[in-house]
């Protein structure tokens, strides 16, 4: 049982979303007024005669190929993929576009209303509230707040389970390691 653009349009109509239908590419295009910054587009595209669906937000990041924090951006995208259910990140080698997507097969059933809303809302929420604030910080500062948070959680776990003075000893050792060694000539 295939899913159709008409069915997807009905789901969007029920929640009063504005959209346009692109029959030539078997997709519906809409947009989101984001809380984290710039509004972003969302495409809902059918493949394989409606037996495969893809929700994606194109052009979330552009110009990543030449960005000074490129390696950290990619590491952050992989970390986000690890921690966010359903969400996957795609990168276009040709133009440096990064987009987020949720996709899955519908081979033996149509897309239910509940599945539709979960995917659409999940995509929007994960991009707006989790991914983009973190990625914007990485691109601006060169520091991933997710890595900083992980470090703080690890220190807290150590502090709670280690013997008294252990965390202070580790901190002092790390500080000594960072200091340049002075060599006398």
Query: What is the per-residue pLDDT for 126?
Result: 93
DSSP string, 63-95: -GGG-TTHHHHHHHHHHHHHHSSS-EEEE-TTT
pLDDT tens, per residue, the chain with 185 residues: 689 999 999 999 999 999 999 999 999 999 999 887 789 999 999 999 999 999 999 999 988 888 899 999 999 999 999 888 899 999 998 888 999 999 999 878 889 999 999 999 999 999 999 999 999 999 899 998 887 665 565 666 666 777 777 767 777 777 777 776 666 66
The domain spans of the chain are 5-143, 149-178
Query: What is the per-residue pLDDT for 181?
Result: 65
d(C-alpha 46, C-alpha 55), whole Å: 9
pTM higher than 0.85: no
Q: Name the one residue in this structure whose structure tokens are 């060169």.
A: 142
Nearest 10 degrees: Cα torsion 136, 31, 110, 126? 20
Contact between 80 and 134 (Cβ < 8 Å): yes
Query: What is the per-residue pLDDT for 149?
Result: 65
159-164, long-range: CB < 8 A, 24+ apart: none
Query: What is the per-residue pLDDT for 34?
Result: 83
Query: What is the per-residue pLDDT for 47?
Result: 95
Query: What is the per-residue pLDDT for 174?
Result: 73
* CATH number of the domain located at residue range(s) 5-143 in this protein: 3.30.1460.10
């Amino acid at each position: 049982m295939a899913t159709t653009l008409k069915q997807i349009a009905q789901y969007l109509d029920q929640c009063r979303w504005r959209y346009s239908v692109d029959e030539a590419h078997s997709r519906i295009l809409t947009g989101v007024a984001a809380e984290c910054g710039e509004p972003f587009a969302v495409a809902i595209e059918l493949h394989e005669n409606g037996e495969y669906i893809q929700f994606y937000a194109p052009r979330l990041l552009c110009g990543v190929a030449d960005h000074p924090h490129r390696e950290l951006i990619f590491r952050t995208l992989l970390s986000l993929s690890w921690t966010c259910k359903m969400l996957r990140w795609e990168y276009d080698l040709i133009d440096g576009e990064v987009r987020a997507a949720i996709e899955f097969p519908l081979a033996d059933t149509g897309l239910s209303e509940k599945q539709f809303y979960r995917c659409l809302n999940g995509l929007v929420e994960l991009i707006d509230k989790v991914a983009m604030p973190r990625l914007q910080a990485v691109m601006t500062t060169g520091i991933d707040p997710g890595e900083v948070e992980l470090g703080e959680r690890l220190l807290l776990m150590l502090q709670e389970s280690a013997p008294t003075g252990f965390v202070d000893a580790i901190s002092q050792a790390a500080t000594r390691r960072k200091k340049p060694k002075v060599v006398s000539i």
